[in-house]
Amino acid sequence: MSSNTADQPVCSAKGCRAAAVWVLAWNNPKLHTPDRRKTWLACDEHKDHLAQFLDLRDFLKDVVTLTDWQAAESRKGEAQAG
Ligand SMILES: [Zn+2]
């Protein structure tokens, strides 16, 4: 199996296939250690809805653009290399 399709991240909202623009970083203290981050991806339309869902449960830690998130992740990778 080979695929040349770019692996475009899509929104995590149910049924939504829109390209993700935002990353919602969250943590459920009952399931995760405090420094653990789960992430949801969101398009512009669903960002507020998903953020509110997490915020109501006190899970929401951070909302950043996908570009910023990927930049931070790649910086982290570089820091850990070697
Ligand atoms: Zn969406």
Q: Give mean pLDDT, residues 46-73.
A: 96
Look at residue 79 and give its three-state secondary structure: helix
| Nearest residue to 61 (alpha-carbon basis) of 30, 36, 42, 41 | 36
Of residues 73 and 40, the one with the higher pLDDT is 40
CA of 12 relative to ligand 1 center, distance in Å: 7
CA of 7 relative to ligand 1 center, distance in Å: 17
What is the pLDDT at residue 7?
77
pLDDT in tens, 5-56: 567 899 999 999 999 999 999 999 999 999 999 999 999 999 999 999 999 9
CA of 22 relative to ligand 1 center, distance in Å: 10
- The pTM is what? 0.83
The answer, yes or no, to whether residue 73 has pLDDT greater than 50, is yes
